[in-house]
Chains A and B, each alone.
Chain A
Amino acid sequence: MSLSSPFFHQALSTSKVMLIVCIALLPGIIVQSYFFSYGVLINVFFCSLFAIIAEYFVLYLRKRKPWKIIKDNSALVTGILMGIAIPPTLPLWMSFIGVCFAIIVAKQLYGGLGFNPFNPAMVGYVLLLISFPVEMTSWLPATTITPNVPDFSDSLNLILFSQTSNGDDVEFFRQLADGYTMATPLDFTKTQFTLGLMTSEILTNETLLKSHHAWHLVNLAFLVGGLILLFLKIIRWHIPVAFLSGIILTSYLLYYYDPNLFMPTSFHLTTGATMLGAFFIATDPISASTTPKGRLIYGFLIGFLIVLIRAFGGYPEAVGFAVLLLNLASPTIDHYTKPTIYGHNLEEHANE
């Protein structure tokens, strides 16, 4: 069938956009796997594989041309994001459940790419977090501070069979030299606050400082990837900037209110999935608000909610919840933030 105008087209395609997103995730993946062993790479690999298989399966059932659609690389992005988000020793069957739920329920049941109201990777992540809270918060200590660094076969065995060939389980690798079990900085501070410690005491804890260093660098790497996306104009500045402003403003106000009970802004910016969320998760355009003003509100509220959930919520990490809540709100935000069309609202100004 012939087309009507326009006949001119630029070269960028959706498949390429998705592929560039995958490539921009690489610095983060590399740094994260440096600090948290091969488990990260293995997870990313298996999650991507599961995502593509699940996508193929549903497209086959829907009688579409699976390979043609899989080429849009969107399932790949979901898989990689899931692989990054889960702990590096999570049993494979759990990853499988999470990824399948993300692709089949959160994406394909709604009609596939472009029709999902929620960010599929975050739906999968939150499902796992709620279902398997212990396993989902069992992060390894950074390889730089632990004597027990799993090698490749250890990691693979942990993921496949939950123990290495020597019979060591995840808890063995989570122990530090002094016998403490390691937690992520977010988890650690949460526990410390419940023990009645003050911010200044928590911040000077040596274990935290060391492990926080690793998370600094992971966040920095995702920031670099995000800046690449901005530079290539794959994403726009609105959501990341509003997202980070939301975190900065909210955490600053809380810290200002009581510096002993809340963590400082710098802590929130450089820990957990802050940068991954700001540049790769909240910017998923399908589930985000789509008006210029709406993107700012959307990003800001995610940042706001992240700090609130981190400070007051039951779960240490909050990006997934915050993003899903705002996904829910984005049609409403869109409705109230329509831009002024050319030549509209001029009469009212003239009468003022």
Chain B
Amino acid sequence: MTTIEYNHIVKKAQGRFNGGIHPTECKTLSNQQAIQSLPLPNFLILPVQQNIGQPGEIICQVGDEVSQGQLLVDNTEVFGANIHAPLAGKIIAIDQYPTNHPSGLPQTCLKIKTAKQQVSTELFSPINWQQVEPQQLLERIKLAGIVGLGGAAFPTHVKLAAQPINTLIVNAMECEPYITCDDRLLQEQSQQVIQGALISAKIVNAKEIIFATEDNKPDAIKQLSQCIKQIKSEVTIKIIVAPTKYPSGGEKQTIELVTGKQLPKGKLPASMGLLVQNVATLFAVYQAVNKGMPLTSRLVTLTGNQIKTPGNYWIPFGTTIESIMQHFDISDFTNQPVVMGGPLMGQPIFNYQAPVTKATNCLIFNIAATDEKMWLTQSTQHQPCIRCGECDKACPVDLLPQQLFWFSQSDQWDNLENQGLFDCIECGACAYVCPSEIPLVHYYRYGKSSIKTIQRNHEKSEKAKKRFEFREMRLARAKEERALKHKKAAEARKKAAQDKKADPTGKQTAINEALARVKAKKSAQNSTNPQPKE
């Protein structure tokens, strides 16, 4: 086993965060093997939207032959990201297919029949990043459809537009059990990741790059520090090593570990002059800029006790879980959720037709032994909370999970918000340690969505109230105006009637008017011809 050498490049983290847990790592399952590729899948199911924001415009049709890297979904929205063809082939359908969307609802997807012969083409021309303007680099990243590959899938070009940034933190913590794709990528492609980091640093004008990682990745640290030594750059590059503890990879926790300071509530890292990027994202940046390749595939950890050869694989987006299972000959796996992401924050996928997307960093095919309680995917009748406080010891954001649970199960929304429900990062540390096996995070999600629904309804009713009040006001005003008009008309009619009565033929009126005219004329003459002086 490699030991970590600390020197002027590799340093121990000065900060620490409260709470945290030390779950079984299960990382050696998959980080011992070199990165591999899977054989071409027969078809791809490519969701047209793989990150938050508005969906883009599909610029292809059923029947089109597409080449690898060809732009298929053009997204010009602020938070949008383009989608390119992962492989060459023919679009055979554009329809609703099951995906990994948290709602469980199907999404619009392109079904692509992959061609037998794959010719790799360059979509963009490679750029020498040292010689171009940052704006051009940013444009390229946007065109390549790059999003954060740590799991949140936030568009990278939006994040890189933040200014001013002093330090770029590369999040290589990878604190969740089982996942090893960043570890393996750093071991094999650290040169490229560093280049990606330098490109990002140039875009945001950062003076410093810090690779933040845990001490359970000595091989990656060694490889990385060797590469850093060879780099000649004005930007200082360091590696900061934190003790292995979940969830050190959470953005807030990483910032606290690296800087020793907490990110103030409601602020973005940019307010502290920081930008946090994931390892795989920076690799994608390098590929887009230096190689001219859009983001069409990613490194995915395939692991769990049902896979005979766990490891890290390059997988084109749109590859279905089913085809991966066929390749690995996983047959005993039925009615079990495949966990997409890590075991603590991942998402259960029951429909194996769901594809790998930009947000998929890990797929776990695990079946728990019958007497084992460590791997829990089915809900059981949990025991009551005895407020033992294990959870508040484990909470990395210093909440009191036992209180959140108490208020959530009794629907006390105000108290729940006062306890800081919306500061919860849903890391799952509390539920991991809970001796009563309470699915605590589930209760928080319930609380969060209930409160949001109430707020939405409140906003709706406020809007409706305003609309109603305005309508009332408008009707009253119209009525008033009408009444005024009627009154005026009535008065006019009355006057006319009176006039008619006094002077039925209108002669007297004509005489009166003529007299008035004469009078006016006379007075006008008097004023223009002044009397001669006596």
Contacts and interface: CB of A to CB of B under 8 A. Distances in A.
B432 A6 contact: yes
Given A236-B389, A341-B399, A343-B252, A3 B23 contact: no
Contacts of B399: 339, 341
Given A5-B428, A12-B435, A13-B437, A342 B396 contact: yes
A286 B386 CA distance: 5
Given A8-B344, A342-B262, A16 B377 contact: no
A4 B400 contact: no
A166 interface: no
A4 B348 contact: yes
A7 B339 CA distance: 9
Nearest to A17: B435
Interface stretch (B43-51, B203-211, B368-376, B515-523): B368-376
A7 B343 contact: yes
A13 B266 CA distance: 36
Contacts of B263: 342-343
Nearest to A15: B383
Interface in B319-355: 337, 339, 341, 343-348, 350
Contacts of B398: 339-342
Nearest to B393: A236
Contacts of A3: 348, 376-379, 439, 442
| Interchain residue pairs A-B with the least CB separation, the first 4 | A6-B428, A114-B384, A342-B397, A346-B264
Interface string A46-74: 00000000000000000000001000101
A210 interface: no
A346 B435 contact: no
A7 B375 contact: yes
A194 B434 CA distance: 51
Contacts of B392: 290-292, 339
A121 to B, nearest CB: 14
B177 to A, nearest CB: 6
Contacts of A72: 383-384
Interface centre among A3, A6, A16, A342 (most CB of B within 10 A): A6
Contacts of B397: 341-343
A342 to B, nearest CB: 4
B454 interface: no
B272 to A, nearest CB: 10
A74 B379 CA distance: 23
Contacts of B393: 236
A112 B386 CA distance: 11
B400 A8 contact: no
Contacts of A178: none
Interface in A256-306: 285-286, 288, 290-292, 295
Given A14-B386, A115-B384, A5 B441 contact: yes
B431 interface: yes
28 contacts: A2-B348, A3-B348, A3-B376, A3-B377, A4-B441, A4-B442, A6-B344, A6-B432, A8-B177, A9-B373, A10-B432, A11-B373, A14-B436, A17-B386, A74-B386, A114-B386, A290-B402, A341-B398, A341-B420, A341-B423, A342-B18, A343-B263, A343-B264, A343-B265, A343-B267, A344-B420, A346-B265, A350-B264
A84 to B, nearest CB: 20
A334 B435 contact: no
A9 B374 contact: yes
Nearest to B176: A8
Interface string A1-35: 11111111111111111000000000000000000
A334 B442 contact: no
B385 interface: yes
Nearest to A349: B264
A67 to B, nearest CB: 13
Nearest to A74: B386
B387 interface: yes
A81 B480 CA distance: 80
Nearest to B403: A290
Contacts of A288: 387
Given A12-B433, A290-B403, A343-B262, 17 more contacts: A2-B378, A3-B377, A4-B439, A4-B442, A5-B426, A6-B345, A7-B339, A7-B348, A8-B23, A9-B375, A10-B374, A13-B373, A14-B388, A72-B384, A291-B392, A339-B399, A347-B265
